[in-house]
Structure 1
Amino acid sequence: MLTIIPKPTDIPSDNSTRMVMDELDRMGYPYKVRFLEAIDPFSDDLSNETIWICGIRQNGHNFESLQALSLKNRIINSPEAIVTCASKVMTSALLIKNNVPTPKTFFTESKIIAGNFIKKFSRAVSKPVYGFDGVGIHLVEKLNDLGDPPYYLQEYIPNDRDFRVFVIGNRAVGAIMRVSDHLTHNIHQGGCGFAIEIPEEMERIAVQAAKCVGVDYGGVDLLCYNGSYTVLEVNGTPNWHCMQAPIPKFLAEYLISQVK
């Protein structure tokens, strides 16, 4: 049986969970809807099932409940993958370990050492370790631009756009280019998205990035860099705004294949 845990931030005008459930309904495939806050992971209520987590709240209860549920069920995406993607530090570490192109990255609690990184590259991009939707990302050019530690910094790569590639089961199924006139091009920060064809090199790097962080499906964000692409991050509970590809249908088909 397929169990679906809806995204807590779904709203009537932007309901990711409902889009996939509509596709399952069209296919005549049965499923149950449960809410994480109402599940006791120590009971036998959920066992030997496939559970799709459309999205979670980044808090201890949600993460710990998923970890416990994963001992008796197949979770998509796995708790480990969701936690990895939630942490920019761990995502960067895995990208670097697996030789996936990614900007030069630095992480420290020392403001002085962080300042040396900024001097080396003239400017850097500061990001919250557990950020989302492009919130809290800003350019730093001197020591006083830094806030409170810890400091997760990446080299600044000049750009006027970025790309999101949607990967399902080690296959790139859709992509958009996001454009804005400021540092972050995230749709939630005012960026405009346009569906694009996926170049072979972009697909190869995006699939490699999704694979190394362990997601069944994910949104891989990239920049153009030195004639190729570099990965900024991987989203483990991604939206598919502006994509022309039928992502909900692809996701529904993938979930059915995993139950079987």
Structure 2
Amino acid sequence: MIRIVPKPTDTPDDNSTGAVIQELERAGAQYGVLDLGAIDPLDSGLENELIWVCGIRQDGHQFETLSVLALDNQVINTPESIVTCASKVMTSALLIQNGVRTPRTAYLRSETQANDFLSRHGKVVYKPLYGYDGNGIRLVTEPAELGPGPWYLQEYVKNDRDFRVFVLGGEAVGAITRVSDSLMHNIHQGGIGMPVTIDEEMRAIAEASASAIGIDYCGVDLLRDAEGYTVLEVNGTPNWHCMAAPIPKLLAAYLIEHERGMRA
């Protein structure tokens, strides 16, 4: 049976979990919904099950519960990869370590170092370390705008759109561009999404990003600059708004395949 941890931000009009459940039902797969807040992971009774995490709350309890469940079960995405994607610093570190293009980035507590980084780049983008949906992201042009540290800062790359590539099982299977007239192009921040064809450069950098993180599926967010694509971040519990590719069907098939593999 496939055990499903629903995305806590699902709504009737934007139900990522429900879209995949519909595809599981069409395929005749057995599934059950798992409430992480209603089980003791040290005495869960779950063993050799496939647990699909559509989304979790960013709190210690859910991370710890998943980590314990992963000892005796296969969890997709793994707790480690979800935690990595939740931390912009760790994501950046792994991208850099694996030679994946990403904007120049710094994580600083020293105000002097933060001011020097800002001075070198002229404009930088401040991002909350564990932010989501574009919340809290802002452009900084003066030291007084930095606010309290520590600071996760990226060089500003001029753009009017970004790209999200959905990678599943190491393969880029769908992509959109998100267009807006503001700094953030996230759909939750008012960006307009539309499907785009995955070109070979986009495919290569998105698949390399997923490999660097070590994740089953993800949304890789890209900008395009004078040298090509550069990776902003990797989302371990992504939505798939506006994609032409049938992501829920593909994801359901991926889960079914892995669950059957555990029984073989």
TM-score class, shorter:
over 0.9
TM-score after normalising by structure 1:
0.98
The letter of the residue matching 1:200 is E
Deviations along 1:39-89, whole A, 9 cap, x unmatched? 211114111111001100000111110111111110000000000000000
Partners of 1:193 and 1:9 lie apart in 2 by: 19
SS at match of 2:4: strand
- Deviation of 1:243 (Å): 0.8
Partners of 1:44 and 1:198 lie apart in 2 by: 42
Give the 5 Å matches for 1:103-142.
103-142=103-142
- Deviation of 1:246 (Å): 0.4
Partners of 1:4 and 1:249 lie apart in 2 by: 15
Partners of 2:150 and 2:89 lie apart in 1 by: 11
SS at match of 1:20: helix
TM-score after normalising by structure 2:
0.97
SS at match of 1:42: helix
Residue in 2 that maps onto 1:202: 202
Q: CA RMSD for the aligned pairs?
A: 0.8
Partners of 1:100 and 1:203 lie apart in 2 by: 12
Partners of 1:212 and 1:107 lie apart in 2 by: 19
SS at match of 2:162: strand
Residue in 2 that maps onto 1:156: 156
Residue in 2 that maps onto 1:179: 179
Per mean C-alpha deviation after superposition, the further-off stretch among 42-51 and 85-94 is: 42-51
SS at match of 1:12: coil
Per mean C-alpha deviation after superposition, the further-off stretch among 156-165 and 32-41 is: 32-41
Residue in 1 that maps onto 2:6: 6
Aligned pairs, how many? 260
SS at match of 1:258: helix
The letter of the residue matching 2:226 is N
The letter of the residue matching 2:196 is I
Deviations along 1:134-179, whole A, 9 cap, x unmatched? 0111111111010111100011110000000000000111000000
- Deviation of 1:115 (Å): 0.5
Residue in 2 that maps onto 1:189: 189
Q: Which stretches of structure 1, 4 residues or longer, exceed 2 Å deviation after superposition?
A: none
Partners of 2:44 and 2:122 lie apart in 1 by: 56
The letter of the residue matching 2:48 is N
Partners of 1:246 and 1:227 lie apart in 2 by: 31
SS at match of 2:43: coil
Give the 5 Å matches for 1:4-153.
4-153=4-153
SS at match of 1:215: coil
